[in-house]
Structure 1
Amino acid sequence: MVLTQTQIGIGLEVECFIVDSEGKPAQEISIDGELMYTSEWIQQEVQRVFPELRGAISLEQIASHLEMKTLVCENRTIAARQIIATRRKVETILHAKGLHLSFQPVLEDELSLIPATLDPESRTFQLVERWGENAFHSATACFQVNDSRPFAHLLGPGDEMDMRRLEQARIIHNSFTAEKVAELRSTNLNDMRSAQGLTRFEHAQTLLVSQNQERFARFGFPSEQILFPPQFDTIREMLRWMCAFDASSEITPTDFERMSDLSIFRRLNPKEMHSWTVKIKQSEDPRQPWWVESRWGDSLEFSTATELETHLEPATNHFEGFVAASKTSTVRQPDHNSPVCELLQ
């Protein structure tokens, strides 16, 4: 999502594939006799031809896979229109090469593990390095709805405000059960299978379990709770789950028992917490709200903003339910007396 000065609203992240006229993935492209990774090439070309879209296109892990992002928008109608406008501009460049964008959860044609970039400084490259052959399972496409409205009233610095934000995060996490995710889906594409015979969910399950099962077990969670978090009775239980997910964290189960809630929270990397359901994005600036990112929505073909809005409506309506309710929620005070691991301070 491309942030703006006003960060209260809705933003979209839409994943898609670059394919040829036969619908086959276009992972490499010849430009002036030189082979380039297709998604990296189109990102550079879009920035050259449409500089106003700088930041609106980002790389995923595989070379025929990319993501389009919107600005922070007042409502889903404006966000949907931005995605449509971006798609049309990107495809004006692709069409000249006989390519186009495909919006579906998985590709039904064979896909090779060709990384989107070899830049060692990029997160894309680093994830492929970490995941190895399992990076192939990240080549799926979804719609991600980012909504800051549930946190819009929880602004400002301080321990108490951080605890209020964490309590709101706990409530939101608990609302995204497996049953609710199934209810929110507005397409029937969740049964579409890739060339390997797997649905988008099964690809995600393979990747996330392979990367996180051992760490989750150390923190006391079964593997099925990697994709669908349990119901959290307390903030601390939510933080335990987040610690299990954050492979970059040096916090061990022993450290966890010695640390306060806020000490744990401030050492977690929110970019690492990719469950199947929802992800809480923390703002580094306490004057700006946190974000809720839904991660369950299967991608689908669309040609108008109205079609896209219909797909987004269940998720955005679900988020709206937290806006008024959160203003009357009970605030849990921070535990200043909780033991803290001195070595990790």
Structure 2
Amino acid sequence: MTLSLPNKAWLKNLIIAGSTMLLMALFMVLFADKAFAHGYVDSPGSRAILCKQGQNTDCGAIVYEPQSLEAPKGWPNAGPADGKIASAGGVFPKLDEQSATRWSKVSITPGTKTFQWHLTANHATASWKYYITKDGWNQNAPLSRASFDLTPFCSIDYGGAKPPTNYASTCNVPAKSGYHVILAVWEVADTPNAFYNAIDVDFGGGGGTPNPGVPAPTGLTSPSQTSSSVSLAWTASTGASSYEIYRNGTLVGTSTTTSYNNTGLTAGTSYTYTVVAVNSSGSKSSASAPLTVSTSGGSTAYPAWSATAVYTNGNKVSHNGVNYEAKWWTQGETPGSAEVWKVIP
């Protein structure tokens, strides 16, 4: 039987379409794990999530997917190359820019610390490991293996189990001073990959451990707020000659009195403050209890988010002074930490 030209063309198109569908199915099988096994360190805020939140600027495409810092596992023997550690291999090259002042820093103290991960897919997990830069590391050179103590200060064997969507590691952070980078590594059990998160932290001055002789400030309050400023007041600490004021973990000012006015803020936005007391010799207290406060105005008021309510695409809520809109069906997923919610004016 001889096919006419139209029938030959039809047969050719059918073969092409079938081949395309087969390739698409094969792609989905091969890359399903990589596409959906994602996560990031939410607290203390990683370099990537602070980019998404706007505390870090000029970050590139990572602001849209802080959960995607994925590279081969096995660090430090394998994994992302030197100079590309913060970007997990260079896909998000802006994250590899490094200097003493390039990134916002989260205030931290030595001792017991919880590292909170938000997992957009709670994949079977081999381990969680945490590394920290050496004393005297070069803060103005791209991160390399030479920057870090290659023995993790915290290592948790997870045995291939599936963690919760919001997973917390409890670790003992070593005593350090000043600016350091913590590298948090989530090793997936049933793929060859891991997720790498750089966390920029500040241990403050002195020897790394807060001076127990300098009491932390107490009674932190906010007497007033405007659309662009927040006033703060606190109770004096015995022996303090000045105070450092931190906003969302970043030092924003100092005061020789027990008050401070933080200006240049965004309307209708929540900020978290702590205060550290400093004595005349430069020794510092631990941080005060945190205070979260919102600037006035700037956005439409929506109903407060409820953990028990069901929301669908387009539903709008407010949570901690920020407005969110649901992108799909959700219940119990907290705005600000779940991908289902997007920030709106």
Structure with greater contact order relative to length (CA < 8 Å, sep ≥ 6): 1
- Decide which structure has the larger Cα Rg and report it: 2
Into which bin does the TM-score normalised by the smaller protein fall?
Answer: under 0.3
More strand as a share of residues:
2
Normalising by structure 1, we get a TM-score of: 0.27
